[in-house]
Chain A
Amino acid sequence: MNNEIPVSALGPQGEVMAHAVDACVHCGFCLPACPTYTILGDEMDSPRGRIVLMKEVLEGELPLADAAPHLDRCLGCQACVTACPSGVPYGELITSFRGWSEPQRERSAFDRAKRAAILKILPAPKVFSVAARVGQYAKPLAPLLPAALRAPMDLLPERVPAMQPSARVTPAKGKKRGRVAFLVGCAQQALTPNFNAATLRVLARNGIEVVIPEGQGCCGAAALHTGARDEALRLVRRNLDAFDPDEYDAILSNAAGCGAGLKEYPVVLHGLPDEERARAFSAKVQDISEYLNGLLQSGDLERPMPTSRHLTVAYHDACHLAHAQGVRAAPRQLLKAIPGVTVAEIPEGDLCCGSAGTYNLEQPELANQLGIRKAGHILSTTPDLIASGNIGCHTQIQSHVRRQGSRVPVMHTVEVLDLAYRGEL
């Protein structure tokens, strides 16, 4: 798409944006992949439409406030990136655009407070844990609250567990095969501490020493994707200081959103002093399923015990794993490596569940529609178990599956593996 974007006035991110706009040939191949287009059926809420809107704003032809409602509805799921044959880096475009435009947004005081709260609470596990427990007690009051406040409560699990801090170093069991660094993540430490516990157990069992480097913090994705660019840059640099890629075989994350965020660091720092460091760092980043599948493929993964009865596991592709990181096969391979497990493919599997970071807090109605649709599709496979690799999807799917009356357990892929190792599946 021809553009007149004043690149030089926009700085290094301007280059990223202009390149993405240029690469789009407006063929429309991305339309059916887009969850908001699927639900709303209009061009402004499609990837192609959003690219045009951003272009118009950047060119000074359209006021930001006019484009904003449609850009805000974008889940950032990157399904359009998977679908686009022209290789348009839509994710880079929308993230850069949000960073560029946020300082110019006029937001209501309530909106600002809500965003500030999200950005403060999400990345701080301890605060989150307290907030979640307060929220849990307030749950009975939820029906009385406005939708914007009700949404986060609806997502809280029935029981918010206590925080379990992880050891700084988890030694390898048996023959030591490798040494990795682990990003512990934010919200999931509070909501689902077993994700990390299972991850450490599975890695140790396979002879991998796991280091949790001190000084690490939030990956910065939430800040970045909501446009809080300065905050994101601060978090990114903090992690670059905390992790020395030369020290580890890999830097692992077990949350798809965080992993995608870590892999994005070179784009965030494009044209800035730490770009090279970011490149070296992100080259080492892997999702836990990628890393374990690497062991599986080289014959180094300990064989899980067979399940006690045949199990159908519906595997849900988290957008930030499948679309943003292109990791689809690895988690399926791992699940299939458990004797007795069949992996069920979910209809419309590429469509986002509606969680998408802070989306169900910011766009509760659309998130809800997508959640209902996703839960229906998942349950149509009559699974014994639902697996996924992302805390956001986990809470969204769990809450919607429960609302549709099903008690099927929802787990992280590594939890399933962990249970299989312990003969508890």
Chain B
Amino acid sequence: MTPEKVALSPGSPAPKPRSNGTPDNRLAAELTRALGPKKVLSARSERLNYRYDAIQFGETPLAVVLPETTADVVTAVRAARAAGVPIVGRGAASGLSGGAAPLRESLVISFTRMTRLEVFPERREARAQAGVVTLAVTEKARPHGLIYPPDPASFRTSTIGGNLGENAGGPMCFKYGVTGDYVKGLEFVDAEGEVHRLTRDAYDLAGLLIGSEGTLGLITEATLRLTLPPKHTRTLMASFPEVGEAAEAVSAAIAAGAVPSKLEFMDTACTNAVEDYLAVGLPREAGAVLLVDTDGDDLETVEEERALVEAACLNAGGTVRRAGSDAESAALWQARRSVSPALGRIRPQRMNEDIVVPRSVLPDVVREIRALGDASGLPLVQFGHIGDGNLHPNILFDPRREDVHAVHDLAHQIALVAIRHGGVLSGEHGIGTMKRPFMREAVDPVTLGALWSVKRALDPSEALNPGKILPDEDEAHAHP
């Protein structure tokens, strides 16, 4: 795992300022010739801004293409192939695993201008180009009485292409599923510049591309399934003196048969960070807070489910507050969505984990991680989609104050807790560069070999987003 902003660690050589002007490399010149200057960024000041995502700084790309059509993507891929330059796909660069940050001099293809979006209410479908912002799909579908459920906290910013790249999920996913569950078809450009259109029958090749973080193909368009919104939604917030109790309440509520549409958890540090920012009246003193929505078309069932959750929370030692109005529940959910960035107020950098563990072991896992954090002396916070067993332990740090090795160490120990309890390393943020070093511990060599075979079949020359997800093959064999 690499800490954020690798390129700027003290002592790294400062690149010499070079001035703007005509393309300073052959690839940029060739692309400018083929696509025109408006779709190609070749000045260093422009390219500098395409070397990071929300977690990491990488290498400055040789050129950036801002395609408007699939044909533009094809042109760009072919030019990069001819020049022997690797290709990194990029959406809004809100990714939290370093996925969109190039590790070497590359061509970045940024999809933010591919924003065509059509809704077909009679088929309950939307067709979205890769750069469409996630929230826009629901906004455009709503007048037709439809919604698009996958709702990562970043949904105002992130793109459909990026969501597909990471198979993004969000609070709604416990009940309604993740991005991949809403994809009916895909259009993608492969490493050679060929365009493919996939549906989900025969071999589910679309399924393979979803979550592949731009390492198997560049997604240019997706056909998405829309659904009817539930008629009724009820929200409650429960607070607990201690994190483990919150996890116990979750396990109990689900065992009792409740299927909340959202089941989110924040520990005390998160609650306080958000409260500092939004002041919506979250209980600052609580060790952990749960936010729960139950929904459906039958109000009675929705209320019953809320009662089940409420009882489980009370039993586990919690205090419960019901949201009295839509405005109140909207405020609570805005609070949850703001956790991640609000943490930036505590320390400028963070190591963000994305583990998933079986729900039955949640209380142990949450407590063990808390204890590791306390022992390390580093600021550690936990939040996540606890209904799915998806936790985001975050280590907050300032490289000027905290020892980066200690941060790595703690991150590794946390990953081991997850693996020890039968969990996995990534629920939704992807492997990227951040979790790549742990892959060998998490995935057995035979499976890793199979993953490599898939990669080789679709991208034999490793042109697509190299250095992400899969650890080097030799190493994989060397350390079974």
Chain A contacts to B: CB under 8 angstroms: 1-4, 22-29, 31-32, 41-44, 49, 52-53, 56, 59-63, 65-67, 70, 84-88
Knowing A29-B156, A52-B49, A62-B48 are in contact, say whether A2-B54 is a contact too (CB < 8 A): no
Instruction: Check: B266 CB closer than 8 A to any chain A CB.
Output: no
> CB < 8 Å: which of A23, A27, A87 contacts B94?
A27
**Given known contacts A42-B41, A84-B341, is B350 in contact with A29 (CB within 8 Å)?**
no
Q: Supply 18 further A-B pairs (C-beta < 8 A) apart from A43-B50, A61-B15.
A: A2-B349, A3-B8, A4-B10, A26-B93, A28-B93, A29-B157, A29-B341, A32-B156, A41-B113, A42-B46, A44-B45, A44-B46, A61-B17, A66-B19, A66-B43, A86-B342, A86-B345, A87-B345
**Bitwise interface map of B from 397 to 429 toward A, beta carbon under 8 Å scored 1, else 0:** 001000000000000000000000000000000
Q: What residues of chain B lie closer than 8 Å to A85, measured between beta carbons?
A: 277, 338, 340-342, 344
Cβ A2 vs Cβ B341 within 8 A = no
On chain B, the residues within 8 Å of A63 by CB distance are 17, 19-20
Contact of A23 among B156, B348, B350 (CB under 8 A): B348
B5-34, CB under 8 A of A: which get 1 and which 0? Answer: 100111000110101100000000000000
In the assembled complex, B129 has its CB within 8 A of some CB on chain A: no
Q: Which of B48, B50, B54 contacts A27 (CB 8 A)?
A: B54
Task: Evaluate whether A26 and B52 lie within 8 angstroms (CB atoms) in the complex, with A31-B157, A66-B19, A85-B277 already known.
Answer: yes
Complex alpha-carbon distance, A41 and B110, angstroms: 10
Tell me which residues across on chain A come within 8 A of B4, comparing CB atoms.
2
**Residues from chain B with Cβ under 8 Å of A4 in the complex:** 8, 10
B195 → A minimal CB distance (Å):
22
Residue from B45, B49, B93, B341 in contact with A86 in the complex, judged by beta carbons closer than 8 Å: B341
**Could you tell me the distance in whole angstroms from the C-beta of B139 to the nearest C-beta in chain A?**
10
CB-CB under 8 A for A23 and B15, given A28-B93, A49-B49, A85-B338: no
Among B48, B94, B156, B399, contact of A2 (Cβ-Cβ < 8 Å): B399
Looking at B45, B115, B158, the one whose CB has the most chain A CB atoms below 10 A away is B45
Identify which of A28, A60, A65 contacts B19 (C-beta below 8 A): A65
User: Does B226 reach chain A (CB closer than 8 Å)?
Assistant: no
Any chain A CB within 8 A of the CB of B154? yes
Judging by beta carbons under 8 Å apart, are B92 and A31 in contact? yes
Known: A28-B154, A62-B44. A42 touches B344 (CB 8 A): no
Which of chain A's residues have a CB closer than 8 A to the CB of B110? 42-43
A70 to B43, CA, bound (A): 12
Residue in B46, B94, B348 whose CB lies within 8 Å of A28: B94
Residue B133 CB within 8 A of the other chain: yes
Contact B342 A32 (CB under 8 A): no
Residues 426-464 of B, flagged 1 when their CB comes within 8 A of A and 0 if not, give 000000000000000000000000000000000000000
For chain B, the count of residues having a C-beta within 8 Å of the partner chain is 47
Q: How far is the CA of A121 from the CA of B340 in the complex (A)?
A: 46
From A23, A28, A84, B54 is in contact (CB under 8 Å) with A28
B66 interface residue, CB < 8 Å from A?
yes
Alpha-carbon separation in the docked complex, A132 to B106 (Å): 52
B282 to chain A, nearest CB (A): 14
Interface status of B112 (Cβ within 8 A of chain A): yes
Question: How far is B277's CA from A53's CA once the two chains are assembled, in angstroms?
Answer: 26
CA distance A84 to B52 in the complex (A): 18
Could you give 7 example pairs across A and B, Cβ below 8 Å? A4-B8, A27-B157, A42-B41, A42-B110, A53-B49, A56-B45, A62-B48
- Chain B residue numbers with a CB within 8 Å of A42 are 41, 46, 49, 66, 110, 112
| C-alpha spacing A365/B375, complex, angstroms | 57
Residue of A nearest to B342 (CB): A85
Closest Cβ of chain B to A70, distance in Å, is 7
**Are A41 and B112 also in contact (CB < 8 A) when A60-B14, A86-B344 are?**
yes
Q: A1-B348, A28-B94, A87-B277 are in contact. Are A65 and B54 (CB under 8 A)?
A: no
Q: What chain A residues lie within 8 Å of B20 (beta carbons)?
A: 63, 65-66
CB distance from B12 to the nearest CB of A (A): 9
A52 engages B54 (CB within 8 Å): no
Nearest chain A CB to B417 CB, angstrom units: 25
Give CA–CA (A342, B349) in the complex, Å.
46
Residues of A within 8 A of B343 (CB): 25
> Of residues 203 to 251 in B, which have CB atoms within 8 Å of A's CB atoms?
none
CB contacts (< 8 Å) of A29 on chain B: these are: 94, 154, 156-157, 341
Most chain A Cβ neighbours within 10 Å, of B10, B15, B49, B66: B49
> How would residues 36 to 62 of chain B score, 1 for a CB under 8 Å from any chain A CB and 0 otherwise?
000001011110111011100000000
| A25 and B338 alpha carbons, distance in the complex (Å) | 13
Contacts of B133 in A (CB 8 A): 32
B-chain residues with CB within 8 Å of residue A84 when the two chains form the complex: 341
Quote the shortest CB–CB distance from A268 to chain B (angstroms).
24
Across-interface contacts of B53 in A (CB, < 8 A): 26
Distance to closest chain A CB from B270 (angstroms): 12
Shortest distance from the beta carbon of A58 to any chain B beta carbon, whole Å? 12
Among A3, A42, A87: residue with most chain B CB under 10 A = A42
Select from chain B the residue with minimum beta-carbon distance to A52: B49
Residue among B44, B92, B133 with most chain A CB within 10 A: B92
CA distance A31 to B131 in the complex (A): 13
Which of A61, A65, A67 neighbours the largest number of chain B CB atoms within 10 Å of its CB?
A61
Residues of B with C-beta under 8 A to A32: 133, 156-157
